[in-house]
Chains A and B, each alone.
Chain A
Amino acid sequence: MVTAFRPVTLNEALAIRRTHGTVPLAGGTDLMAAAPSCSPGRGESSPSIMFIGHLTELRQIRMEQGEWRLGAAVTLADILDHARLPAPLRQAVADMASPAIRNVATAGGNICNASPCGDTLPFLYAQAARVLLCDSGNRRELPIERFIIGPGKTALRPDELLTEIVFPAREFVVHRHHKVGARRANTLAKLSFLGLADMDAAGRLSDIRLTFGSVAPTVIRAPQLEQRLCGLPLTEMKHHIDEISAAYDGLIQPIDDQRSTREYRKQVCLNLLRWFLEELIA
């Protein structure tokens, strides 16, 4: 037997969280799949669960002061349906799971699950997203890379809920997202690459963001390397590709597992990086 709570408001949810702990269940697509024999709570220690996916406070998509604010329980399908959200986010979401799963799986769940292969994460890292965390009395904001500590580990406190995801409403002229999985749907990434770039009128790179998913405990992004590229005239880019590639080669340290090999993951990351940079020049 599993005890389940179904609060009516966010406040009620936070109060339950404070007194009972309980495992928040948004879409349940990670929780259900992780539970033995696909029923959460089955097994020795049956923790209670709390449904939060229906809470209207968590289901808003808003633009405020130049920032997008996504409620934690916004579903992947909601994101796909919202045509004004940034294309690279919507593309990453379109490559996730399958329609039935996307109808219930949430943005907050993808973050709180903190999987190395969470497919919304590379975009959120690239956009320097922040997460809003609330308990029944307080709220705090953390940058995404400080919220996610490692595989399955976050800075979430036992009485908190993630309520909102915030990132600048900033579009990039060039964006390339590539998820490499074993098949085209319902598959976890072997690796993923997201490149965002902007050019100024003088043909210089004015902003660039490069992220790699599924090839380390958390998303790889190296702002210092990106900084070195900013201001570079595109005409000179070709002289730097080897050097950039070598720098990322050092950062990308994937593992061998049943899905793929270390060697493959690394090579494809570097191939996609090169291709992205070469395409910028062209």
Chain B
Amino acid sequence: MKPPEHTATPGNDIADPVARPDAAAKCAGTARYLADLAVPGMLHARTVRSTRPRARITSRRLPPLPAGFFVVEARDIPGRNRIRMLDDDWPFFAEDIVNHIGEPILLVVGPEAEATAMIASRVIIEYEDLPPILSLDDALAGLAPPLYGEDNCFAEYSFHKGDLPQARRAARQMVKDGFSTGFQEHLYLEPQGVLAVPEAGRLTVYGSMQCPYYVKKAVEQAVGEGRHHVRIVQTVTGGAFGGKEDYPSLLAGQAAVAALKSGRPVRLVLDRTEDIAATTKRHPSRIDFTTFLDENDDLLGMDVDILLDGGAYSGLSSVVLQRAMFAASGVYRVPHLHVHGRVLATNQVPAGAFRGFGAPQAFFAIEMHLENIALRLGLDPLEYKLRHALRRGDRTCTDGLVRGAVRLPEMATRLCEAAGYPAKQAAYTAGQGRYRRGIGLSLCYHGCGFTGQGEELIQGTIALHKRADDAVEIRVAATEMGQGAQTVLPKIVAHSLGIPLDQIHYENPDTDIVPDSGPTVASRTTMIVGGLLREAALDLKRHWQSGRVMDIRRTYHHPPHIHWDQEHFRGDAYPEYAWGVNVVEVEVDLLTGLVRVIKIWAQFDVGAPMDERTLRGQMEGGIAQGLGYALWEKLEVDDGRVQQQRIRDYTIPTFMDMPPVESGSVYNPYEFGPFGAKGAGELTLVGVAPAVAAAVQQAIGCPVDMIPVTPEMILRRIRNRKHAKPDSEIPPESSPRSRSRADT
């Protein structure tokens, strides 16, 4: 659906789709992924992993190693055995203690992949078990010694707005609600892999990744700062979804150390089971609300408590928590607010970055909570939500200013009309028979760019290099990982310069060539990196001299009106927001608990699309991944072990599961984004789960307070309701939830 306002860009519209430059090779199978790369003399590495959730290693017994085979472990690391991240607590290799099943202990390296795997399978590690922390409940009970610091807490924050105690006193009603969400696995098609190549005085690491400069810093820390010139080159990356933001740093450090030890190139490619069992996941969450309503039933105050399960190492957890907290009150105006959040450590696979980065958990919770309040009050959820939705000029939860126009009301109204929401909302509540329908709605936003002080800390820098033949090279660290950066960024430059697209070149980043424009995360690539490219291109255009080599650099700074106080979490947590509305209709088979998604309607405000088809890819892909998160993607960790270890066991949706999707965008340009663009990559996933859950809740007439909403859970809820008192209705007080298998 192309809104009429699009003619705002005169002539050849930037939104008109162009052929993806990366598509032909990927479709033809000629794209060379990391596992396709082989260089002369290359060795293969295979990881020996912990089989215990928490233990002291008492011995490592190696089988006899044939000539040319060797191991690499913590003591081989010339630099620091800590991955460079926000907080350096995560070792490349376990030293004497292991903290999760799947944690790398050592690499077996050798000239032949199969023999290497065979030897690795014969390494015997002996352990002395330590009391593990196997769940959030364990972590809360605090019986085992802490994994991290003294309180076992990777991060804890809180912030206030208004005067919540005063709201509590003035309130007419109080509503409590609690929600929980599970792990999610990225399941990018290409498993993680790196190839480290040592050369005299120089070390190059090739890899499937999102953030070449994160990897560079991690490798430098592993091999010893300043001792080698470290160069990172991104290879064709077959999907990432956040999973290649943090973990490639670990793999690259390991392979680099192995390459230095042997003086030979070393390739480390995970197989699918290793990738599922050992790499990062989306943080499981528990979110509790105590909300106060005034005499008009309006939102007066809200007390939100967020608990995230961080797994064994802190990784990026503190920022994930911040994003979750800044989404805690959703798109709503809440005058009096208190948000408290913690990430606890557990002896499970580490949680990390995943498309949405804390926001999907928070939006699932706040949207279900608002839905429940509206239903309890006997009001239409759409009306109730819109009544409280932020408008231009309002203050955000952190007291930032909503500067852009908020087009949620018209987006939601139009969408609900298309979906027949009001009539279905009314009709489906009284469903009969075996198959029951339900319809659900969600409103969401996604803060574009890094959370809080991130953009200011990173100060992303880009370069344009004009060659003598007047072709222009884009030099950024932003990676193409399937999302379309190589389609969109060249269009921004070509349109700014007014030259044909085929005159723009944008290769996979090589840190010897590109400056650090920051990681490819946080819905920042088009808006922040693309914005810098547009400025640089306009500059280049002004000074353009045909036939001359020219270089232009630009470094990001927030627009001057953006203020942020990191200590008190006060001000503009993001420079700008992208908005979304989802409506989902489902049908539940009460005999089996199976949910069929009948249709999804979605509208997004991403400022201005830079390529309609690429945006469609983000919309449909984000919705598919959001549906998986809501319904099918069950990942259980029992006694520290990931239960779904194979691609067939972890059920992402297939084409057969995908409903028709009717999606579109509204034009609402952001002054500081290139051609008005904001972020689009994460937004499309964020609001799906609550719309699905609200629809299922209506269909079955029982509360849905956790995702994924499995058929097992649906049948259990229905049965429990039959046994419960007849007056129990939506929404009940939050019930204690345990993450045991029986509850999923």
List the interface of chain A (C-beta within 8 A of B): 33, 37, 42-44, 98, 178, 180, 182-188, 256, 258-261, 263-264, 267-268, 271-272, 275
Contact A259 B649 (CB under 8 A): yes
B656 touches A183 (CB 8 A): yes
Determine whether the beta carbon of B711 is less than 8 Å from that of A264: yes
Complex Cα–Cα for A87 and B511 (A):
61
B592 contacts the other chain (CB 8 A): yes
User: Which residues on the B side are within 8 Å of A271 (C-beta)?
Assistant: 591-592
CA distance A42 to B112 in the complex (A): 13
CB <8 Å contact, B271 and A37: yes
Q: Which residue of A lies closest to B590 (CB)?
A: A271
Minimal Cβ-Cβ distance residue in A for B628: A183
A33 to B647, CA, bound (A): 10
Do residues A272 and B591 form an inter-chain contact, with CB atoms below 8 A?
yes
CA distance A39 to B183 in the complex (A): 30
What's the A-B contact tally at a CB cutoff of 8 Å?
62
Chain A to chain B: the 5 pairs with minimum beta-carbon distance, closest first: A184-B656, A258-B643, A185-B656, A182-B651, A271-B591
Chain B residues with CB under 8 Å of A184's CB are 654, 656-657
Partner of B592, one of A37, A98, A178, A183: A178
In the assembled complex, the CB of B270 is this many whole angstroms from the nearest CB of chain A, namely: 11
Residue numbers in B under 8 Å from A258 (CB-CB): 636, 643-644, 649
Known contacts A183-B653, A187-B651; is-contact A268 B715 (Cβ 8 Å): yes
Which residue on B lies nearest to A36, using beta carbons? B117
CB distance from B275 to the nearest CB of A (A): 12
- In angstroms, Cα B741 to Cα A33, docked, is 26
B644 nearest in chain A by CB position: A258
Shortest CB-to-CB span from B289 to chain A, Å, is 29
Q: Which residues of A contact B716 (CB under 8 A)?
A: 263-264
Which B residues touch A42, using CB under 8 A? 114
Cβ-closest chain A residue relative to B649: A258
CA distance A187 to B652 in the complex (A): 10
Residues on the B chain within 8 Å of A188, using CB: 648
Kindly state the separation between the CA atoms of A89 and B649 in the bound complex, as whole angstroms.
Answer: 25
Bound-state CA distance A160–B657 (Å) is 40
Give the chain A neighbours of B715 by CB distance below 8 A.
264, 267-268
CB-defined contacts of A260 to chain B, threshold 8 Å: 712
Judge whether B741 and A183 touch: CB under 8 Å. Answer: no
Task: Judge whether A268 and B648 touch: CB under 8 Å.
Answer: no
B712 / chain A contacts, CB cutoff of 8 Å: 260-261, 263-264
Could you tell me if A185 and B655 are in contact, using CB atoms closer than 8 angstroms? Answer: yes
* Distance between Cα atoms of A188 and B647 in the complex (Å): 12
Contact B742 A272 (CB under 8 A): no
Contact among B117, B434, B632 for A182, CB-based, below 8 A: B632
Q: Does B118 contact A (CB under 8 A)?
A: yes
Chain A hits for B594, CB < 8 A? 180
Q: Can you list 30 residue pairs at the A/B interface with Cβ under 8 Å?
A: A37-B271, A42-B114, A44-B118, A180-B711, A182-B632, A182-B651, A183-B632, A183-B651, A183-B653, A183-B656, A184-B656, A184-B657, A185-B654, A185-B655, A186-B654, A187-B648, A188-B648, A258-B643, A258-B644, A258-B649, A260-B712, A261-B712, A261-B742, A263-B712, A263-B716, A264-B712, A268-B593, A268-B715, A271-B591, A275-B591
Given A184-B656, A185-B656: A268 in contact with B592 (beta carbons within 8 A): yes
Distance A258 CA – B645 CA, assembled complex (angstroms): 10
Contact B654 A98 (CB under 8 A): yes
Contact status B742-A180, CB under 8 Å? no
Using known A-B contacts A185-B656, A261-B741, A264-B715, determine if residue A33 contacts B648 with beta carbons closer than 8 Å. yes
Of chain B, the residue at the smallest CB distance from A37 is: B271
Contacts of A263 in B (CB 8 A): 712, 716
| Nearest-Cβ distance from residue A259 to partner chain B, whole angstroms | 7
Taking the closest CB of chain A, its distance from the CB of B504, in whole angstroms, is: 38
Binary contact readout B702-723 vs A (1 if CB under 8 angstroms, 0 otherwise): 0000000001100110010000
A43 to B636, CA, bound (A): 29
Whether A186 contacts B648 in the complex (CB less than 8 A), given A261-B712, A261-B742, comes out as yes
B656 touches A275 (CB 8 A): no
Q: B114's closest neighbor in chain A, by CB?
A: A42
A263 to B715, CA, bound (A): 10
Chain B contacts of A267 at CB under 8 A?
Answer: 715, 719
8 Å CB interface, B575-599 against A: 591-594
Q: Which residue of B lies closest to A274 (CB)?
A: B591
**Among B118, B591, B649, B651, which residue has its beta carbon within 8 angstroms of that of A268?**
B591
- For the complex, what is the distance from the CA of A271 to the CA of B594, rounded to whole Å? 13
**Assembled-state Cα–Cα distance A183/B630 (Å):** 13
Given A183-B656, A186-B648; A275-B741 close (CB under 8 Å): no
Given A184-B657, A264-B711, output 8 extra A-B contacts at Cβ < 8 Å.
A37-B271, A185-B654, A187-B648, A258-B636, A258-B643, A258-B649, A259-B649, A264-B716
Report yes or no: A272 in contact with B648, Cβ–Cβ below 8 A: no
Please, how many angstroms separate the alpha-carbon atoms of A42 and B656 in the complex? 33
Q: State in angstroms the CA–CA spacing of A170 and B654 once bound together.
A: 35
List the A side residues contacting B592 at CB < 8 Å: 178, 180, 268, 271-272
A189 to B712, CA, bound (A): 14
Q: How far is the CA of A275 from the CA of B271 in the complex (A)?
A: 44
Q: Whole-angstrom distance from the CB of B29 to the nearest CB of chain A?
A: 15
CA distance A78 to B671 in the complex (A): 60
Q: How far is the CA of A182 from the CA of B593 in the complex (A)?
A: 11
A275 and B644 within 8 A (CB): no
What is the CB-to-nearest-CB distance from A30 to chain B, in angstroms, rounded to a whole number? 12
Q: Of B117, B643, B655, B712, which is in contact with the most chain A CB atoms at under 10 Å from its CB? A: B712
Q: CB distance B434 to A275 under 8 Å? A: yes
Q: Which residue of B lies closest to A98 (CB)?
A: B654
Q: How far is the CA of A178 from the CA of B651 in the complex (A)?
A: 19
Q: Which chain B residues lie closer than 8 Å to A272 at the CB level? A: 591-592
B654: contacting residue among A37, A178, A183, A264, CB under 8 A = A183
A183 to B643, CA, bound (A): 18
Smallest Cβ-Cβ distance to A39: which chain B residue:
B114
Least CB distance from B475 to A in Å reads 38
| Residues in A whose Cβ lies below 8 Å from that of B653 | 183
Most buried by A among B636, B657, B719: B657
CA distance A182 to B644 in the complex (A): 12
B649: chain A residues at CB < 8 Å are: 258-259
> Max chain B CB contacts within 10 Å: which of A33, A44, A178, A258?
A258
Smallest CB gap from B591: residue in A = A271
Q: Which of B661-698 contact A (CB under 8 A)?
A: none
Taking the nearest CB of chain A, how far is it from the CB of B49, in angstroms? 15
A184 and B484 alpha carbons, distance in the complex (Å): 29
